[in-house]
Amino acid sequence: MFESGLRAYKNTRGPMLVAACVMAVKTVLSFTLIFGAFGLPRLELVGAGIATVGAHAVGLGLYVALSRVASKDGQSVTFSWADVRAMRGGRGARQRSPGGPHEVPLREVVAEVLFVSLPSMGERLIMSLALLTYFKILSSYGTAAIAAYAIGVRLLSFSWVPGLGFAAAASTFVGQALGAGDSEQARRAGSRSVGQAVLVMCGLGVLFFFLRGTLAHAFTSDDRVAENLMPFMMMLAIAQPFMGAHFTLGGVLRGAGDTLTPLVGAAVGNWGFRVPLAWLFTRAFGAHLVWVWAALIGDHFARMLVNGFVFLRGRWAGRVGATLRVVRDGG
């Protein structure tokens, strides 16, 4: 939540630095606690858990400090403990809207945040259930297929990081443009973000497509896993432009306060294409594993179509002022 607040404030360097610190702390703690380095007890998996908790605790502390440093003009980037006390005490703490003197009750802000966030929770739930089902289908091809999926996702996660970055930027710029009442600027920001994301991820898709053999053998010595990994990477490489498009389109729509459309896209893509196609290829046709991998393309293509349809309709750009951006009055 702190990270999202800072990003909405156009501060993306802060979260990057916090992430670097968390990674460094987790790496050091993991090494010392898992293997018992520097005289510490050898805790193995328990040590990994402690390292994770410690690293994220450090991250939270840094975010709290950073959000206070980022405050300016008497306004805070995030909520404060005084807001929580006011709500618990029922004194009706009020927040001043940056657009003018109108004050908004904090309870109304909480209700709106919950209303916007529920579809995002549903989207994650839908994707998690679909992934579990997809794993169940993959298990019929043996453990090598599961291992190939895990390694392939880790490898190609580097290629879809730009899509996630463009999505975060688009959400910030669109939300701020609509909050300022400039729907045309919101449209321009959305269109440019999508175009740039697709261009970058197309290039990365081509790179991974031609280097799939080299990368597969570099990250596994098991020939069976590598044999399954190469076609999987090929399918994900083909899906890169669709992924970049629906990632960024989803960011645009979320910036406009529309979290329902990405939920619908995830439902259609996962349960209308990925899972049914994988099941048909496996159970009905007894097809080769490569066709189960190909079902991923249908998933991302469908999500791009759903998000793109709503984006092109343009109603989201008419939600001027609909996305409530509230900051705490320093007084």
Cα separation, 191 vs 73, in Å, equals: 32
Q: Are 96 and 86 in contact (CB under 8 A)?
A: no
- pLDDT of 93 over the 60 cut: no
Say if CB 328 and CB 75 are below 8 A apart. Answer: yes
User: What is the amino acid identity at position 134?
Assistant: Y
pLDDT over 50 at 327, yes or no: no
What is the distance between the alpha carbons of residues 138 and 131, in angstroms, rounded to a whole number?
A: 10
The band of 302, judged by pLDDT with boundaries at 50, 70 and 90, is very high
Assign 329 a pLDDT band (cuts: 50, 70, 90): very low
Distance between CA atoms of residues 175 and 253, nearest Å: 9
What span, in angstroms and rounded, lies between the C-alpha atoms of 20 and 193?
25
Position 94 scores a pLDDT of: 47
Lowest-pLDDT choice from 10-14, 100-104, 297-301: 100-104
Please count the other Cβ atoms lying within 10 Å of the Cβ belonging to residue 114. Answer: 10
- Gyration radius from the chain CA atoms: 23
Q: Residue 277: which of 262, 297, 263, 261 has the closest Cα?
A: 297
Distance CA 154, CA 218 (A): 13
Cβ distance 252 to 244 under 8 Å? no
Four-point Cα dihedral 171, 175, 177, 178, nearest 10: 130
Quickly count: other Cβ atoms within 10 Å of residue 212's Cβ.
23
Query: Are 288 and 230 in contact, with CB atoms under 8 Å apart?
Result: no
3-state DSSP assignment of residue 95:
strand
pLDDT tens, residue by residue, 32-71: 999 988 888 899 999 999 999 999 999 999 998 887 776 5
CA angle 77, 195, 179 (to 5 degrees): 30
pTM higher than 0.75? yes
Instruction: Please state, in angstroms and rounded to a whole number, the distance separating the CA atoms of residues 41 and 63.
Output: 30
Q: What is d(CA 281, CA 261) in angstroms, rounded to the nearest whole number? A: 28
DSSP structural state of residue 154 = H
DSSP state of 141: G
Kindly give, in sequence order, each residue whose CB lies less than 8 Å from that of residue 102, ignoring residues fewer than 6 positions away: 96
pLDDT average, residue stretch 20-32: 95
CA distance 206 to 59: 36
Which letter does DSSP use for residue 329 in this model?
E
Terminal Cα-to-Cα distance of the chain (whole angstroms): 23
User: CA–CA separation, 172 vs 15, rounded Å?
Assistant: 14
Three-state SS at 319: coil
pLDDT per residue as tens digits for the range 122-161 = 999 999 999 999 989 988 888 888 888 888 888 877 878 8
